A and B are shown apart, each in its own frame.
Chain A
Amino acid sequence: MTYDLVVVGGGPAGLAAAYEAFNNGIESILIIERDMELGGILNQCIHNGFGLHTFKEELTGPEYAERFIDKITDTSIEVKLDTMVLDIKEKTIYAMNPIDGYMEIESKAIILAMGCRERTRGAIYVPGDRPAGVFTAGAAQRYINIEGYMVGKEVVILGSGDIGLIMARRMTLEGAKVKAVIELMPYSNGLNRNIVQCLEDYDIPLYLSHTVTQIIGKTRLEKIVVSQVDDNKKPIKGTEKTFTCDTLLLSVGLIPENELSKQAGLQIDTRTNGLVVNETMQTSNEGIFACGNVLHVHDLVDFVTQEAQTAGKYAASYIKDEYKKGTSVKVKNGKGITYTVPQNMNTISKESIRVFMRVSTPSYHQKIVVNCGGKEIASFKKKTLLPAEMQSIVLTKEHLAAIEGDITIYLEEGK
């Protein structure tokens, strides 16, 4: 089997990337998706709030996915569902499904869009027993929204990221009693809107600077113990509270799924756990591009789509032999910024480059400063910067012209 472009992953990133490549003149495209349908995680995110940037309207996850699936259907793009990519060596993809069996697929370019997975209990050391009834929020979401089964009746949620908050409301609407949402940090990692509409609407208490310190239950979960934590996030003795519950949902972070990327020998960024890319979303290997949560975990699908379009466009130019190589400068993160994507950029002959980043703590009235060799080449005033909200800045042609070496992006007080 041979294609011009193979896209690994049929979620929002893969779909948008494939469609963009098609629009840029590539016709021989294959999307490989391991699930039974396209759309990825959007299919189980039945709540609304998707697409404000991309479509200027508020859609649910499945609606957002369907817009792209419809577009793909009208093209020559091929799709293999229920298909697992097992390995990538150079530009050869080894994949498998029940109908075609084991396949070796040659491709001129590859776009990686495998998404991310949830952090589990093992990764966060919650002590105690190992009963049934401890779920990652995403697994519970799948059971409830796709399979139509409830995972429990009395629920505590650890982690106040958006998935945790969304699930608090979802389980409440389906008749469960959500007793508390527990957050380790002194601030929530979710959007304000979700705190109001998912917790406050239903009188669900949010315990900031708290964590679960004991799981109790020999067969099914019976109780959990929650403790307040100090500034070093260590539990404070004497602050224990016990909640009777049959279910604990974990919403404690997402990790880019890069096992294939590692097998393929691609460079990984330890800050994001995602792939290192340049401004065209090309990874450390020529002709292999990446986009979406496999790079860094997004809070808005709209940004995934933007990144995917960049990847699709440049993968097309690579296939058409129009990809312009050049020397890259490094994008470094300074004070207040935890990471940037892209990590490298080649500024030559670019109209503009968008840089995504996250801040380390909630900060107000700041400037995001772009510095090159001690010279400030751009700054962007921001009223509010929250770790939960990915930031993006656009470096214009003028900014780019001023870049002569590695750049550093950091925060500065900026009333």
Chain B
Amino acid sequence: MYDVVVIGAGVIGASIFRELTKYNLKVVVLEKEIDVAMGTSRANSAIIHAGYDPEEGTLMAKYNVWGSELFEELCKDLSVPYKKNGSLVLGFNDEDMITLEALYKNGNKNGVKGLALLSREETIKKEPNLSEKVRGALFAPTGAIVGPFEYTIALIENGVMNGGEARTSSEVIAIDKKEDVFTLTLKDKTKLECSYVINAAGVYADKVHNMICEETYRIMPRRGQYYVMDKSQGDIAAHTLFQCPSKKGKGVLVTPTVHGNLLVGPNSEDIEDKEDLSVTNEGLDAIKDAAKRTTDKINYRETIRSFSGLRALSDREDFIIEEDKKVKGFIDAAGMKSPGLSAAPAIALGVVDLLQKKGLKACLKATFNPKREQIRFMELPQEEKQALIKKDHRYGRIICRCENVTEGEIVDSIKRPVGATTVDAVKRRCRPGMGRCQGGFCGPRVQEILARELHLELQDIVLDRDHAYILTGKTK
């Protein structure tokens, strides 16, 4: 019997899960995929918004500003790449300049610190590669960039280190409730019992909700496509560069990533299929076109990957963070469109608070350890590198030549709690294959290391999910 079951190991579920492991509770997070951070959390803009955008008084405004304040410390505790690079919303015409002023005022109401309206000169001084046409900008010094899947994975790992349980390949197919006890049935027919259910199932949150509750909202995925550029383009922008939100939409952003690449996107397409992560020529061309307003300095020949992510929009305006009116103990944390990632740490606090208000008895544990370490070899000082290779020679062998990832780090990513079992899971944890050759050289080596460490045959290792087999068998 669990106190709380969290459904969904994306950034929202992971944040709530880890927060719950601070207490004397029996907690489990269930993920239908083979790994955590497999939905929206693995494909998004990787940005911590300052919080000037959402309308004052909304949950989005409250949790965004609060969450963004919590991020830096959390990332430090969890060894997650994070950089407070600041963001600029750019104005190109009179209408934009009015919008910037409105955003500035809204941001101040929301409690965003340090906002400033910049002149054209001040803007160009900050970002010399901007288009000539820029007229001014809203500067938000608290805007930041983060590794979103690294962050989600770290939360889950830390939760497990603190006594929580995380189960992957565990899709919930039915939820029942008798008296005060929920019974969850998994795809493999396993049953779990608990007192509270947190629904953080991302684009499938409506489906999970409707397993036991009456329909109160719908999730309609909105697809966004992106370009990832080689590190050669990484210093085109230092800040995250937004365009003014207008009637036509939010506009595309151009931003450096925490790893030194440049990210350009997203577009915005409402789609039906909750698994449709395809990219299209039209989508990518539209992004390229739109990004030209911001800067014409990007060399798209240096693209190393394009990808799509789905944002879990609901038919409501705001985040859905509430207990179901009829099914007591069933709590939704859903409709997490942007700024869902930025808001996640605060949402976790909010949900735990809500649980306590709804009767969950939770005492803080003295043993909770907020720290989680991860070695990133190339970032170590020289002497530590030398010492580490001496201790474990596998840190002396580079497997990924583009990102300089060592065998030691790859083995570590497999051995950790909720360790990697797929080639992409290793990639999300320590980056082999993230670089310009996209795993052409290191993919087979990573696969070999996985097979060796997990005692499997080479052909049993999949790319990213069940049935995504890489090899069909031996040649002879």
Contacts and interface: CB of A to CB of B under 8 A. Distances in A.
Q: Within the complex, are A and B direct neighbours (CB within 8 Å)? A: yes
A200 interface: no
A93 to B, nearest CB: 14
A150 B475 CA distance: 5
Nearest to B396: A98
B279 A127 contact: yes
Query: Could you say which of A100, A120, A123, A129 has the most chain B C-beta atoms within 10 Å of its C-beta?
Result: A123
Interface string B397-440: 11001101000000000000000000000000000000011111
Interface stretch (A141-149, A184-192, A390-398): A141-149
A269 to B, nearest CB: 15
Interface in B315-330: none
Contact of B284 (A101, A125, A129, A143): A125
B362 to A, nearest CB: 40
Contacts of A128: 278-279
Interface residues of B, number: 56
Nearest to B472: A150
Nearest to A171: B475
B180 interface: no
B444 A143 contact: yes
A196 interface: no
A102 interface: yes
A101 B390 contact: yes
B277 interface: yes
Interface string B434-476: 0011111101100010000000001100111111111111111
B213 interface: no
B441 A117 contact: yes
Interface stretch (A131-139, A294-302, A329-337, A346-354): A131-139
A125 B306 contact: yes
B467 A127 contact: no
B474 A84 contact: no
A152 B472 contact: yes
A86 interface: yes
Interface in A1-60: 34
B204 interface: no
A101 B440 CA distance: 26
B307 A130 contact: yes
A215 B382 CA distance: 45
A151 B390 contact: no
A96 B389 contact: yes
A401 B470 CA distance: 58
B306 A97 contact: no
B438 A149 contact: no
Interface in A70-87: 82, 84, 86
B469 A102 contact: no
B304 A120 contact: yes
Interface string B169-186: 000000000000000000
A139 B395 CA distance: 24
A132 B393 contact: no
Contact of B277 (A129, A139, A151, A174): A129
Contacts of A143: 444, 471
B393 A99 contact: yes
Contacts of A307: none
Nearest to B464: A132
Contact of A144 (B463, B468, B475): B475
Contacts of A100: 396
Nearest to B387: A101
B280 interface: yes
Contact of B396 (A101, A125, A150): A101
Nearest to B467: A219
A123 B441 contact: no
B476 A122 contact: no
B385 interface: yes
Nearest to B385: A102
A153 interface: yes
Interface in B253-301: 275, 277-281, 284, 301
B228 interface: yes
A147 B444 CA distance: 9
Interface of B: 228, 232, 275, 277-281, 284, 301, 303-307, 378, 382, 385-386, 389-390, 393-398, 401-402, 404, 436-441, 443-444, 448, 458-459, 462-476
The 9 lowest CB-CB distance pairs between A and B, nearest first, are A98-B396, A132-B463, A98-B393, A122-B305, A84-B398, A219-B467, A132-B468, A219-B468, A101-B389
Interface of A: 34, 82, 84, 86, 96-102, 117-118, 120-123, 125, 127-133, 136, 138-139, 142-144, 147-153, 174, 213, 215, 218-220, 246, 259, 262
